[in-house]
Structure 1
Amino acid sequence: MIDHAPDLVSVRDATDRLLIAVAALDNASVTEPTRLSGWSRGHVLAHLARNADALVNVLEGRPMYVSGNAREADIERDAPRPLDVQLADLRESAARFQKAGDAPADWSRTVELRNGVTDSASRVPFRRWAEVELHHVDLGIGYELEDVPPEFVEREIDFLAERFGGHPEVPSTGLATDEGRVWTTGGGADGGPIEVRGTAADLLGWLAGRRDGSALGVRGGALPTLPPL
């Protein structure tokens, strides 16, 4: 079982980095587009705040969201808010998540996330860490995948390689970093094996749908097209 306690510390540290960076913005820049199609910075910040509350629901045994439509409506409602309101909401929702994470609990229990997905409660803090790190990059305010803690990069590649393992749309694919770390994924579609190599940041960017993979080296076929997360 994953030790959730260090991940809670990492979530707090990542949130602190995000809050400091966002505090340097202004109201106009909050309305500007991000690297996520159709989302302004306000949308990303609203999503991060509501995701923190949704994961509190998960830890406390409630449905993560009332519904998919309600999730989207909450983001649209909160996206236009001014910077000071966004910051306060992000800070306060993060504190609620940390409080829920600090409460005594059976971290080996199974919890339900969105769309019927289940996981160990012990992995919920890491899932929140991923939300904060990747969406900080999505904001397009100077924080890149190369700036993300290396431990997170490797663990998120682990997570995504496992997620796409055996996927019916992904051929057998070997992943390798320039530093020598290797993974395997896919295997459910015809073709392969395909070898994909690059920096850890570029591999993560491709797996997480943040980069097109053009910086990666590919052997044995074309770079696989990955399904959306």
Structure 2
Amino acid sequence: MPDTEPDPSSLLAAHTERLVATVRALDDPAAPSLCEGWTRAHVATHVARNADGLVRLVRSAVDGTRDTMYGSRDERNADIDAGAGRSAAELADDIERTAGEYAQAAPRLRLEHADHALERTPGDVRGRAADIPMMRLREVVWHHVDLDAGFGFADLEPELQRAFLDEEVERLRGLDDAPDITLRSTEGEQWTVGVGTTSVTGDRAALLGWLARGLTGGVSADPLPQLPAGR
């Protein structure tokens, strides 16, 4: 078990600063990212629009506005495409500004709002208001990795690596076509999916990279199972 449970709110500011610094230093925002079909600029724009969407979800939970995170999937994609031609400085400024707006809105969430259902798009319920802080931290951290600009899962705090691994294992367990695997970290942890037939080993960062993004560096198994598409 981790020494401490991660506090998303306390970690978010530092990880946002790291992301902004990486984006501002990008020499080629149009270079491919780890997200198929997206450039680095697409990823950076998505992080900014994610903050906008989460502010809307806070309003929905606290003020009863019935706002959804995005108007529609097509609208979400169009907004990301519209921002993908900008410079590194413009992308970084956008992330910084919208992160600040999210930081102002998030403390409005209280215990009484925890079970408010979140709608990603109208009718598409995804989680509850209590999930918002971890949702934002995950977006900032994972998409920082997706920029493929020197930041990786190995750069995370140990307790955050563990928390993300726990989430990914739970997500995998909920899929009908999940492989039967036993994950063993070199830090001494173990997770089982299904009957755990195949042993997959690596450090926390490598296992997370495989589960979250299909990265195989540092992961060993004989053979390495195929993860479900669209996991």
For 1:99, give the aligned amino acid: Q
Q: Deviations over 1:86-134 (max 9, x none)?
A: 1221111101111111125334223324362432322211111111111
Aligned partners of 2:42 and 2:83 also within 8 Å = yes
Aligned partners of 1:196 and 1:216 also within 8 Å = yes
For 1:51, give the aligned amino acid: N
Give the percent of matched residue pairs that are identical in Structure 1 and Structure 2.
32
Q: Which residue of 2 aligns with 1:11?
A: 12
- Of 159, 170, 183 in structure 2, the residue corresponding to residue 162 of structure 1 is 170
Normalised by the length of structure 2, the TM-score is 0.85
Distance of 2:149 and 2:22 partners within structure 1: 8
Distance of 2:109 and 2:138 partners within structure 1: 23
- Runs of 4+ aligned structure 1 residues displaced above 3 Å come to none
Aligned partners of 1:53 and 1:97 also within 8 Å = yes
Q: How many residues align?
A: 218
Q: Which residue of 1 aligns with 2:57?
A: 58
Distance of 2:83 and 2:68 partners within structure 1: 21
Higher RCO, Cα 8 Å, sep 6+: 2
Structure 1 runs not aligned, ≥5 long: none
SS at match of 1:218: coil
Structure 2 runs not aligned, ≥5 long: 61-66
Distance of 2:88 and 2:217 partners within structure 1: 35
Aligned-residue Cα RMSD (Å) equals: 2.2
What does 1:1-229 align with in structure 2 at a 5 Å threshold?
6-26=7-27, 29-61=28-60, 62-105=67-110, 106-114=112-120, 116-185=124-193, 187=194, 193-211=197-215, 213=216, 215-218=218-221, 222-229=224-231
Normalised by the length of structure 1, the TM-score is 0.86
* 1:111–1:12 CA distance, 2 compared to 1 (3 A): farther
